[in-house]
Amino acid sequence: MSLAIHDALLPDGRTTSVYVEDDRIAEIGRKRDADTTIDARGMALLPGLVNTHTHAAMALLRGYADDMALQEWLTEKIWPVEGRLTPDAIYWGTKLACLEMIKTGTTCFNDMYFHMDRAAQAVHEMGLRAYLSEGFIDLLDATQGQALLRKNEEILRRIAAIGSSRVVPAVGPHAIYTVSTESLRALKDLADARGYLYHVHVSETNQEVEDAKDDHGTTPVRLLDSLGLLGPNVVAAHSVWLDDAEVRTFAQRGVKVAHCPVSNMKLAVRRAMPLEVMRAAGVTVSLGTDGPASNNSLDMFQTMKATALLHKFASGEPTVASARTVFDLATVGGARALGLEAGMIEVGKLADLVLLDLRRPELTPTHDLVSNVVYAATGDCVDTVICDGRVLMQHRKVPGEAEILEHAEKVARDLVGGR
Ligand SMILES: [Zn+2]
């Protein structure tokens, strides 16, 4: 199977053609014939955006509860509804999220939620690439943790049984305040043995850090490090309240960070994650939306802009978090965080690609494509999405869209008892 994209503008300023064979970029520069040919005149070709932290099926809870303190939001609103989530709800919620991601140029995401074997089915059908971890919460009860571990392994086995290189199991201990140290360790052993990512929330709020000092006598990062749990397969979501020594620890251990600026600002975590310190230390930083109930969008263009604005505003330095830096975090940074050969338009990389329609008012003129992508574009500017060499959307049309919206709306209403 081959795919040719003719005469597209690339982020480096070249206008050229790209040839895809099966799932990889095979040639750049020559206008070749292929099974499918896309005339990309008037369009920009970008690497697909990579969302390294979300809870996709929370799309069903978008707008259900906002403008609340984190603890109240969780205990009064989110957790009671999550207790009623069925595998079918997860399937339709994940379909809805995938549809939104396709329509806004995301080709790969790192997800943590429940009934993830059903999420895996949805991802498989939608054609996206995803790392899927069953959210693990034993409420610090190691005995309960053992039973949950067996359940977790069974779900990971079912995800792997789908047999798609795009649908990858991962391990997802929720956080140090919801998972016993025994289970945190057992899950790390499992991740290391199978080559899975270890996806965990770390130091999202100052409260989390203060509670860790009370409960463990140390900070979340120091605790994880003392347990020997930090390593190159760890994707640490948020990582807002880290001191410089902890950033150096992340760099030494090769920990990857999923920075979620929109969620952080919406939940008022009170400081900007130390992006410049992390970059200077050599930590791989990537971008995530966090769940659609705490964002409330999966549009990574919004997240790119928010990243630039947050760090400029918080530091008082308009020179930090430049458009190029932020674009790299959302593309090659995401790919590196997940260990994926993608995020760049280069021969040999996975053909996870996006065409942006440049004939739109907000993208005119094109003095600087990357500036327009970060500061002016929204997901609506995406015309075509290709994942694993396959066209998932062209001219903003995704097959089955109406059915997904209808089912997701119904499932969401039933879930919150709206009918
Ligand atoms: Zn999260």
Residue 258 has pLDDT above 60, yes or no: yes
Q: How far is the CA of 368 from the centre of ligand 1 (A)?
A: 33
Tokens representing 78 are 């989110």
Q: How far is the CA of 204 from the centre of ligand 1 (A)?
A: 9
pLDDT in tens, 167-195: 999 999 999 999 999 999 999 999 999 99
Question: How many C-beta atoms lie closer than 10 Å to residue 36's C-beta?
Answer: 15
Q: How far is the CA of 340 from the centre of ligand 1 (A)?
A: 21
Q: How far is the CA of 238 from the centre of ligand 1 (A)?
A: 8
φ, ψ at 395 (rounded to 5°): 50, 40
Tokens representing 354 are 């996006």
How many Cα atoms occupy the beta-carbon half-sphere of 329 within 13 Å? 33
pLDDT of residue 186: 98
Query: What 3-state class would DSSP assign to 158?
Result: helix
Q: How far is the CA of 356 from the centre of ligand 1 (A)?
A: 28
Q: Which residues pair with 386 in a beta bridge?
A: 353, 391
Average pLDDT over residues 306-310: 98
Q: How far is the CA of 419 from the centre of ligand 1 (A)?
A: 29
User: Average model confidence (pLDDT) for the chain?
Assistant: 97
pLDDT of residue 358: 98
pTM of the shown model: 0.98
Question: How many C-beta atoms lie closer than 10 Å to residue 419's C-beta?
Answer: 6
Residues 24 and 285: their CA atoms lie apart, in Å, by 25
Average pLDDT over residues 250-270: 97
Q: Distance between terminal CA atoms of the chain?
A: 47
Q: Where are the beta strands (DSSP E) in 103-176?
A: 106-113, 129-136, 167-173
Q: How far is the CA of 147 from the centre of ligand 1 (A)?
A: 24
pLDDT of residue 419: 44
Q: How far is the CA of 335 from the centre of ligand 1 (A)?
A: 19
Give the residue among 247, 324, 328 at the shortest CA–CA distance from 287.
328
pLDDT of residue 70: 82
Q: How far is the CA of 53 from the centre of ligand 1 (A)?
A: 6
Residues 332 and 43: their CA atoms lie apart, in Å, by 21
Strand order of the β-sheet with 198-202 is 49-54, 106-113, 129-136, 167-173, 198-202, 234-238, 256-259, 284-287
Q: Which residues pair with 256 in a beta bridge?
A: 235, 284
pLDDT of residue 321: 98
DSSP of 275-292: HHHHHHHT-EEEE----G
How many Cα atoms occupy the beta-carbon half-sphere of 151 within 13 Å? 15
Q: How far is the CA of 44 from the centre of ligand 1 (A)?
A: 31
